[in-house]
Amino acid sequence: MTGRSVDQVADDLRRLGVAPGGVLMVHASLRAVGPVTQGAAGLVSALEQAIGAAGTLLVNVGAAQTPRVPFEASTTPADPDNGVFAEVFRTLPGTVVSDHPDGRFAARGAGAEALVADQPWDDYYGPGSPLHRLVEVGGQVLRLGADVDTVTLLHYAEYLTPVPDKRRVRREHLLHAPDGGVRRAVLTCLDDCDGIVEWPGEDYFGLILADYLATGRARTAAVGAARSELLDAHDLVEFASIWMAERFDRPGE
């Protein structure tokens, strides 16, 4: 089985609403999309065909965490939890990546460098981050059959939500130094693993996405075999910030 052609997938993306010049943060499940000619690389080609030369693609690739192996932005593999698509996207010629061991992003296209350059070391999903820039340029989130709790942009909303006593974490990393040696670096950020507050039950990112989709403000269609959604980044962040502010416990109230 050769799967759907690049042109066919690009047509699916256009029917969903992907347009030339778009700035898209992509979350993709290759299994959900189904066979595509050239696999993950073919899916990237279809995305690039749909957004054209003026468009930009952004993917959260993260970094594989291997004890005692220093992080190096251009060679460390993507976090396996982010899937095969993220690693293939990272390694394609022309992809640029940010230099961060926890919040590494990869981008391709006209605005790639501007999206990922000078990412903050602390609070790397907050103001000044690629997520912030995605919102500022009027970008969108494209979900191609991805899990409901994988919308990375919601971490930016956590920084904007007016909730007191947000949970923070401190992490240490081994990094390759410019002189060829190894250095140890410390960062602090909101807790992007277990949440910024204690929250019982289902992951609140999945709940936020479900409630947002229920408003009908996202465009939905099939891309390949995957149920897919195209969401406005600014609108989603605003919705998520209000959602969290209304539901999270507020000490003293």
Q: What pLDDT score was predicted for residue 251?
A: 41
Q: Is 1 among the domain residues?
A: no
CB burial of residue 81 (10 Å; 0-12, 13-18, 19+): exposed
If pLDDT is split at 50, 70 and 90, which confidence band does 253 have? very low
Does pLDDT of 148 surpass 80?
yes
In a domain, 253, yes or no: no
Sheet of 56-60, strands arranged across: 96-97, 105-109, 56-60, 23-28, 140-144, 226-232, 219-223
In a domain, 89, yes or no: yes
| pLDDT value at residue 87 | 97
How many domains does the structure of the chain reveal?
1
Q: What is the pTM of this model?
A: 0.95
pLDDT digits (tens, 9 = 90+) for 212-240: 999 999 999 999 999 999 999 999 999 99
**Does residue 229 form part of some domain?**
yes
pLDDT digits (tens, 9 = 90+) for 55-74: 999 999 999 988 889 999 99
Q: What is the pLDDT of residues 82-95, one digit of tens each?
A: 999 999 999 999 99
Alpha-helix residue ranges (DSSP H) falling in the chain: 6-16, 30-33, 39-51, 83-91, 112-116, 130-136, 153-160, 204-214, 233-247
Residue 252 resides in a domain: no
Tell me which residue range forms the domain holding 206.
6-247
pLDDT at residue 250 in the model: 56
Tell me what pLDDT residue 100 has. 95
Per-residue pLDDT, averaged over 116-131, amounts to: 97
